[in-house]
Structure 1
Amino acid sequence: MRRVRQQPIPQFALYGESSLKQQPGLVHIEDIADRSREHDWLIKPHRHTRLFQILLLIKGKLQVQLDESSQELKGNWAVSIPPGCVHSFQFPADTQGIVLSAEASLFSLQTQQFQSLTALLTNPHTVNFEEQDVLFAQVQTYLALIRQELKQAYTGQEAMLSWLLATLLMSLWRQLQYTDTQMHSNPKSSQTFQHFRQLLEAHYREQWEVQTYADALHTSVSSLNRLCQEKAGSSVKGLLQERLLLEAKRRLIYTQESLERIADSLGFKDPAYFSRFFKKLAGLPPSDYRKAKYLEMGTSE
């Protein structure tokens, strides 16, 4: 019988590199082809510990995996990838587009001033643009200005990069708001749901009660449940469980942590209860899930 070898997901500064070659404010920008061509247009699953990335696809096609979600994108798209998100890309040859990588801490001031931007920095998003969209032109312009800024060691470069990154992030957020408004007529409920997702990302490891989330949002449990059903098709409890399950799967597949350590880090004081929780939602015990995924990924000997 073959013995399964645990193989954690690669963690890079930039794909295939252990550290950033460019250091001005920890910002890097390149064309999709610059890195993808040398890897036969396939960027395998990996993650970044500290980097936030934006990939802009221009009139192209892309197969993207963000954690356990896989999408095929065609046309003009932006993909935002927060730190820790496992992601991979498969492009047709000669795909046109840009990849921006920036130290996530560079956005701390902007998120303090405009907290709604936190949604882009904590959860992955795919943002669609029409060719004639003004915001699509703005995103391309800001990326071009960032590229130009990095070519020379201008005075005040770090401040300028921070401002350009802020305007880029705001343009993406506005496009998300626009598409959400097209689907839902109540912008206030959209803001409340975004705030809930931010709270969820910040506190899911503490396993807050549903009532605690409702209190933090100044609403009732029943109203919050209706909102989550409308926006995500699930109850508050269901979304909490989904987030815990996603993180558990990430750690089972991409780290060598013991079940006891994973359980404890996710707020489960009893590893046996964690195993029952996982089996109920995933359909098999965590140890079996880990082995099955290793075999599926070919990490065996």
Structure 2
Amino acid sequence: MIPTYNISDFPSFQAIGSHFMLERFECLQRPPKLLWPHKHSFYEVMWLTSGTSTNVIDYHRVTVEPNMLFFISPGQLHLMNKAESVKGFPITFTEQFLLLNTPNRDAIKEFGFLDNSYASPSFKLDNCAVTELVPVLDLMLDEIVRPEKSSFIISNLLFVFLNRIQRLIDVDTPSARDLSNVVRYKQLKKLIEDHFEKEGQIGFYADKLNLTAHRINEICKRVTGKPLGEVIRDRILLEAKRLLVHSDQPIGQISDDLGFKDFSYFSRQFKRQTGHTPAEYRKQMCDQFQNW
């Protein structure tokens, strides 16, 4: 069973209930028996100022270096190796906290970088970007250490901070994404998350969003560079990986649970995408996690 941690599991004076925390890595208090890998119920923007840290996010390995932002979304599988030289700031928050002061419930969907299923989960800051972000970070740090800290002020500063990150990413990758497509894609991603085990047909998702199959495929390609069918297959593959590594279910049962009527077809598809049979992958990854 993969544990899911809340912000309140990391005790800190520099927190607002279970909705926001801004701490220094060197001062961060972790749960006494923190288990790796694990999931978060919150968003995290990790900003390293020194040291390096190797992270595995949903089985993709990323090395985070100084002045690099690293993004983790709720529900993603996260594994980080220990690095004593790491300094910087983990900024953690819930969707509820971010939307505290805006009537626009879709505002979080506008921050494409928070959903790293289609983009790199990290972003390297140049000197100009650091200069733009540091003043906002300093204001949040100044407010979070006050005895009577204001949720209103910090939520608004967080919104500014995330908007500046999005602007920096958009400048760096101008062809990245049209905002309306990002919002639509995030709605689609939520539907896939809820239905991928049973529904693999493009028409199902098009109907749910009141779009044509052509239009929903076009949005998917513009945002992720992949057609919708491939995005759905990627999500099924991710779930297969999670179950192979973190459950004792027989491989045939995993195949059935993910909607494959033919086990041999499941095995062929898995090997085509990973280069390993399900049994080989299970052994390889279990051995790897034991060595972390």
Q: For residue 47 of structure 1, what is the aligned residue in structure 2?
A: 38
Q: For residue 87 of structure 1, what is the aligned residue in structure 2?
A: 78
Instruction: Render the CA deviation track for 1:199-243: whole Å, top value 9, x for unaligned.
Output: 123333313631344456665434544554455443210111101
| 1:275-294 correspondence runs (5 A) | 275=263, 278-283=266-271, 289-294=281-286
8 A Cα contact 2:52 2:65, kept in partner: yes
- Comparing 92-101 with 233-242, which one deviates more in the overlay? 92-101
| 1:1-301 correspondence runs (5 A) | 8-13=1-6, 18=9, 20-22=11-13, 24-26=16-18, 27-35=20-28, 45-58=36-49, 61-90=52-81, 94-109=85-100, 112-117=105-110, 119-123=112-116, 125-133=121-129, 136-154=130-148, 157-181=150-174, 183=175, 188=178, 191-193=180-182, 195-206=184-195, 207=199, 209-214=201-206, 220-222=212-214, 224-225=216-217, 228-229=220-221, 231-255=223-247, 268=259, 273=261, 275=263, 278-283=266-271, 289-298=281-290
Distance in structure 2 (CA, Å) of the matches to 1:245 and 1:54? 26
Distance in structure 2 (CA, Å) of the matches to 1:35 and 1:19? 7
Gaps of 5+ in 2: none
- Comparing 193-202 with 220-229, which one deviates more in the overlay? 220-229
8 A Cα contact 1:127 1:172, kept in partner: no
Q: Which SS does the other structure have where 2:148 is aligned?
A: coil
Q: How many residues align?
A: 275
Q: Which SS does the other structure have where 2:17 is aligned?
A: helix
> 1:246 Cα shift?
0.9
Q: State percent identity of aligned pairs.
A: 18
- Comparing 106-115 with 93-102, which one deviates more in the overlay? 106-115
8 A Cα contact 1:82 1:120, kept in partner: no
Distance in structure 1 (CA, Å) of the matches to 2:242 and 2:153? 36
- Quote the RMSD (CA, aligned, Å): 3.9
Distance in structure 1 (CA, Å) of the matches to 2:162 and 2:148? 22
Q: Which SS does the other structure have where 1:112 is aligned?
A: coil
Q: Which SS does the other structure have where 2:97 is aligned?
A: helix
8 A Cα contact 2:111 2:162, kept in partner: no
Instruction: Render the CA deviation track for 1:21-69: whole Å, top value 9, x for unaligned.
Output: 4452332222233359xxxxxx984334422211012365443321111
Distance in structure 2 (CA, Å) of the matches to 1:90 and 1:281? 31
Distance in structure 1 (CA, Å) of the matches to 2:240 and 2:5? 21
Does the C-alpha gap of structure 1 residues 80 and 298 become closer, same or farther in structure 2, counting only changes over 3 Å? closer
For normalisation by structure 1, the TM-score amounts to 0.71
For normalisation by structure 2, the TM-score amounts to 0.73
8 A Cα contact 1:55 1:78, kept in partner: yes
Task: Return the structure number with greater relative CO, CA threshold 8 A, min gap 6.
Answer: 1
Does the C-alpha gap of structure 1 residues 210 and 113 become closer, same or farther in structure 2, counting only changes over 3 Å? closer
